[in-house]
């Protein structure tokens, strides 16, 4: 069974930093691209970032480019999101998701971790 477990969320002040982690199990992590998606309270889903299997291809949403860095450690079955210069509008539940092989779908999701940016 595919499992994705996020951690690292919490309360942070504006301008602060936070590092999210996502540990994967139940599948060959190194064989799948991965995604971060976020959802602000009461709002819709928003794609944040993409990383390919070998980390050779990375994409960011315009709203986080230059502030967030996605990375992965295939040896540890782990995905990361380093977030800096956090703003109130970054407040959201952050989900990691598995990118389906050979298609553009997100076929498995974690339960999410809440990031709150507030003074």
Partner 1 sequence: SYVLTQPPSVSVAPGQTARITCGGNNIGSKSVHWYQQKPGQAPVLVVHDDSDRPSGIPERFSGSNSGNTATLTISRVEAGDEADYYCQVWDSSSDHYVFGTGTKVTVL
Query: Which residues are at the interface with partner 1 (CB under 8 A)?
Result: 35, 37, 44-47, 50, 59, 61-62, 95, 100, 103-112
Could you tell me the smallest distance in angstroms from the CB atom of residue 15 to partner 1?
26
Residues 6+ apart with CB under 8 A from 51: 33, 34, 35, 57, 58, 70, 71, 72, 79
* Nearest approach, Cβ of residue 102 and partner 1 (Å): 10
Q: Which one, 85 or 107, has the nearer CB to partner 1?
A: 107
Q: Is 37 helix (H, G, I), strand (E, B) or coil?
A: strand
- The CB-of-74 to partner 1 minimum distance in angstroms stands at 22
Q: Which is nearer to partner 1, 32 or 106 (CB)?
A: 106
Burial class of residue 41 in the structure, from the number of CB atoms within 10 Å of its CB (0-12 exposed, 13-18 middle, 19+ buried): exposed
CA 35, 36, 40, 42 dihedral sign is: positive
Residue whose CB is less far from partner 1, 17 or 107: 107
Nearest one of 99, 109, 87, 88 to 34, comparing CA atoms = 99
Give the nearer residue to partner 1 in terms of CB position, either 5 or 15. 5
Q: Taking the complex as a whole, how short is the minimal distance between the CB of residue 29 and partner 1, in angstroms?
A: 18
């Amino acid at each position: 069974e595919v499992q994705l477990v996020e951690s690292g969320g919490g309360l942070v002040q504006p301008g602060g930093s936070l590092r999210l982690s996502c540990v994967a199990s139940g599948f060959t992590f190194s064989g799948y691209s991965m995604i971060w998606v976020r959802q602000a309270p009461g709002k819709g889903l928003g794609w944040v970032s993409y990383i390919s299997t070998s980390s050779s291809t990375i994409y960011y949403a315009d709203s986080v480019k230059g502030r967030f860095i996605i990375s992965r450690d295939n040896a540890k079955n782990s995905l990361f999101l380093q977030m800096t210069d956090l703003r109130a509008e970054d407040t959201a539940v952050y989900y990691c998701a598995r990118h389906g092989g050979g298609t553009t779908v997100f076929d498995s999701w974690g339960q999410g971790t809440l990031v709150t940016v507030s003074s």
